[in-house]
Structures are given as C-alpha cells and as structure tokens.
Chain A
C-alpha cells in the first residue's frame, strides 16, 4: 500500500528550500523571482491536495493568484505552513541524560533544554545514571566530573564499555579548567569539554550539533547508499524486532530472499551505470509491492531480503508474484539518448521464521530455495522444494520462409513448446540478447542479418554462448553445414525435413 502523505512530508524540505531561495531573490528585487514563486506555488497547488493536504493547495493558490503587493505576505503564510507541517511530522524528541549532583546546576541545565524539544532525565549520582540507562534509550549525555558516589571519569569509561552507549555523545561539564583533565577525558572518549559556568547558547548549539552528527552517522551506517534501502546491519536489528513481535502476537513471520536473474550480464552488456539504475528501479518496485509493515533491505550485490510481517510464505509468494508480473509488464527503461529496455526477472526463496530460527538459519533456508529456483530455469518464487514448476521450454525460431515457419511453429506449439518467431535475423538476435531461450533455431538465409552472422553474435554474447542452436540449411549447400558447426551450432537440419526428426533433435539437445 502506498503512503502519499509520508512522501509529501519527506519531500517538504525540497519545496521549502526552493521557496526560501525564491523568497530571497524576490526580496533582493530579482525579476525572475516572481515567476519562479508562482511556478512553485502552481505546482504545490496541484500536488498538495492530491497528497492529502488541501490546506497546502489553498495557500499555494493564494500565492499563485496574489497581486504583486500581497505576494510577499501570501508567500510567508505558505512557507510558515509548510514549516509547521514539517515540524509536527518529526514527532520524536531528543533524549538527554544530565548527570549532575548540584541541584542549582541541574536547574540551570534543565532550563536550557525546553520540554517542547527535548526529553530530559536527571541523575544525581553515577548509580542513578546507570539505572536510567537500563530503562531508557538516551541520545546524548551531559556529565559532571564530581559525583557523590564516583569520579565522572570512571562513569565515562563504563559508558564506552557498554554496547548501548559506546557511540552516544558525551559532553563533560566541569569546574576544573586543567589541560590534563581535559586531555584525559578526551582520551577516555568524551566528545566535548566545557568549563563551568557554561554559556547556555553555546551548550545548546553544541548539543544540537552532536545530536545531528550522531543521527547522520547512525542512519548512514544503516542505509545502502545506492538503493537507499536499509542495509544488512539494519536488517539484523530489525529481524529481532520483527521476530519478537511475531511471537508476542502469535502471528506468522516470513523471510524472503530475492536475487535478480542475469544481473551480471546487465552490467557486462550495458555497463555499471545502467546496472546501478536497474538495482534502484527494482528496489523501488520491491518496496512498493510490499506493505508498509514489511521490511526490505539490500543484502548485497543484486540480493535483497524482505521481512514479511503477519504473513505465511505462501502469502509472501502472492505478493512477489505480483511484483514479477509488474516487472514483466514494465521493464526497466533507461532515460537519455541511448535508451535501452531491459526486462527484469528475479528468483526468490521464502521461508517461515519460526521461534527457534536465527537470522542465519532463516537466510540459509531461503537461500537454499532461491538457488533451487535459479537452477531450475530462474524467474521462480519458491516456498518449498516441491514448488518447482515444470515450465514450458522456450524456443526462438528465426525463419523468413512463411511455409517452413508455419510448419515448424505449428508442430512445436503442439508439442508444448513456447515459441517466439522472427522472420528477420537482426530482430531475432535482438530478442535473444534480451530474453532467455532454451533453444534457438536459425535459418541460414534471412533478411536483416543472415543466420551465420546471428550465430556468430550469439556465441559472443554471455547470455547465449551455451544455448543449443540448430541451423536450417538448404539441400545442395553442404558447405553451410560445416561452416555452421565450426561457428558453434550444435546441430543442423537439411530442408526439407520431417517434423518428427526436428522434434527428436530438439528433445535430445534439451536433455
């Protein structure tokens, strides 16, 4: 399911920045500014209400239609509204732990961090601080060095030893202004050192900066830069959360492992830039085909893992089958001058995450099914070993003579093969380069490109260098047979031939 509102909120920053810079240009008297403000407003008018924010449409419309003398105030109203939307969408407050025994200092510090923006815990002793840390997740710690039950430096060491606080920023607040103490604190892992009395403004800014930095590092560590999906580290964390939830609510949890088919060939044929775009394209569709409550991560390379909340493997199979259909209807298209269309298929294994399964167990079970699918023709989504489908074998027939083509097509289709036919060598080659066939039948004489040329090109192509190929040759041109076999054909048929014989040879080559 889609969440249009969230997408609008995610993009708010871009709109706000654009309006801000247009506003600045407008105030400095630039001529273009009015037009660009009205353009942005026009676009927000159309999209705001559609995203589910009719208030944005109204305010944007008044900017678009405002007479020159009212433009500035209308723009300010729109900007204020967008900014307040952004602020209210960021629900989480930063959590500060203040470790300070003096009641006066506690009060001063608390006043610096208003409740509207922060949640503040105060500990008067080292023991209290540790107790608070066991119950709450803390984003930043302000630490006094002199505590009734411990030296602050000992507490700092404990913070750095605990996995929970090893990366949490710690700001030391101390009456001591000695270089030795400062150096020691930094060596023990402090991020900042302020000598009391501390200027409120300076401390507030330092805390905000450290929080932003920590947030950025934390999210960068968990996001795959190319696809912007969570990465393996994030998956490991989420797995525990999803599993705990599934046990608590007694709902099924499934893990799917997906791998793009023939991805190496995409990189080899079109280059890594296009390969990267294919991964991004696939990621977007994968996320869209699952529910918001599911979790998708890039496992590495062209492999993805999805945690499917409240879903059996069969349920997940349905969702992924829909994705596979979607991708077939909507192959990847690159933009730009040299536009290419690349069909995308994937193979997947889905397993149920039972109470005793660790993430490694689940991944390895899903992986086993995935590889089973890969080895039985790809483009398969398996939930158990018996899922493997006997798929009809696909044959590409390149033959321009209508009678011969009709005859072959009719008989092969009757025998259950899936046939793709071209009467032109060049078109057949193009099709073979972007699809996977189990066998190819090539006539020697064809318009566009003759059969030998097609054959030579196919054997150079990593997708087709081992696909069985049968050449169709005319009587009296036995030299063609030698040439064909030399260039990598597996078999030949002399025209005219019997259908039974052709079928027998196909059968043998496909074994």
Chain B
C-alpha cells in the first residue's frame, strides 16, 4: 500500500484525488489544503509521494517544493506537481526544479492512477 499526500487548496481536487486513490486497492491518500498543513503532514506521515498544486492560495507551489526539499525528513520524497497551466515553459521550469513529474488538470481518474503507479514503481 502506497501513501500519497496531496497538497491542494481546491476542495474539488482534494475530493476527487482522495476518492480516486482510496477506491484503488494499492493507495492511501491524505490531503492538506495549505502549505503549513502540507509540510506538517509530510513530516509526520512520510508519504511515498507528494502531489503538489502549483498555486496554493497565496503560496506558490514552487516555494512549498523548496521548503519540502530543505527539510531532512521530506527531502527524499518524490514530488509530482499538479498543474493547471498548459504553457510548456511553465512546465519545463517545474521539471528543472527536480520534480518527479507533472500531472495536468483536468485529468482522467485512470490516468492519475497509472501515472502515480509509474512514479512509484
């Protein structure tokens, strides 16, 4: 069973990801709606993977990314960005940061599961 932590301020996305992952046999999903809660849960849960929204209210996902990278407990956890942007330059920038991958919103439930499985394999 793989544990995934989703950090996203959008209630709909939290519901969707939580529902999709918990319905799958091999995932457990936890969610956080802001940076503070996200970092706290990442430290205490040590998930196998973090799904991180690019825009978290007033916080930028990239800053949260750096924050998670700067902490010893969360440094090794692969981070996948959830992005609403379709501009290649935005996505390139995120990948250059060292993110494990990107998932563009909107996504198909099966696509989410398949992508996460491939990152965790």
Report whether A11 and B12 are in contact in the complex, using a CB–CB cutoff of 8 Å: yes
Complex Cα spacing A57 to B16, Å: 15
Please indicate the chain B residues that have their CB under 8 angstroms from the CB of A45 in the complex. Answer: 84, 105-106
Counting CB contacts under 8 A, is A447 at the interface?
Answer: no
Q: For chain A residues 464-488, which have a beta carbon within 8 Å of chain B?
A: none
> What total count of A-B pairs have CB within 8 Å?
63
Contact across chains for B22 and A46 when beta carbons are under 8 A apart: no
Q: Are B12 and A51 in contact (CB under 8 A)?
A: yes
**CA gap between A11 and B13 in the complex, in Å:** 13
Q: Taking the nearest CB of chain B, how far is it from the CB of A507, in angstroms?
A: 35
- Asked whether any CB of chain B lies closer than 8 Å to the CB of A375, the reply is no
Tell which of B10, B12, B109 has the most Cβ of chain A within 10 Å: B12
Interface presence of A330 (CB below 8 A): yes
Q: Is the C-beta of A69 less than 8 angstroms from some C-beta in chain B?
A: no
CB-CB < 8 A to B55: which residues of A? 42
Contact of B12 with A43 in the complex, beta carbons under 8 Å: yes
Q: Give A30-82 interface residues, CB cut-off 8 Å to B.
A: 42-43, 45-51, 54, 57
Verify if A200 is at the interface (C-beta below 8 Å from B): no
* Residue from A2, A48, A57 with most neighbouring chain B CB atoms (10 Å): A2
- A1 within 8 Å of B by Cβ? yes
Cβ–Cβ < 8 Å partners of A54 in chain B: 106
Tell whether B63 is near chain A: CB-to-CB under 8 Å.
Answer: no
Contact of A50 among B22, B23, B37, B105 (CB under 8 A): B105
Task: Indicate whether B120 reaches chain A with its CB closer than 8 angstroms.
Answer: no
Given the known inter-chain contacts A46-B105, A335-B37, please indicate yes or no for A4 contacting B19, CB distance below 8 A.
Answer: yes
> Would you list 8 pairs from A and B whose C-beta atoms are within 8 A, ordered by A residue?
A42-B55, A46-B84, A47-B106, A50-B12, A50-B107, A326-B22, A330-B28, A330-B30
A-B interface, 8 closest residue pairs, ranked by CB to CB distance from nearest: A49-B106, A46-B105, A47-B12, A50-B106, A2-B19, A46-B84, A329-B28, A43-B10
Chain B residues within 8 Å of A, Cβ to Cβ: 1, 3, 10, 12-13, 15-16, 19-20, 22-23, 28, 30, 37, 40-41, 55, 82, 84, 105-109
* A contact set with B: CB distance below 8 Å: 1-2, 4, 7-8, 11, 42-43, 45-51, 54, 57, 288, 326, 329-330, 333, 335, 339
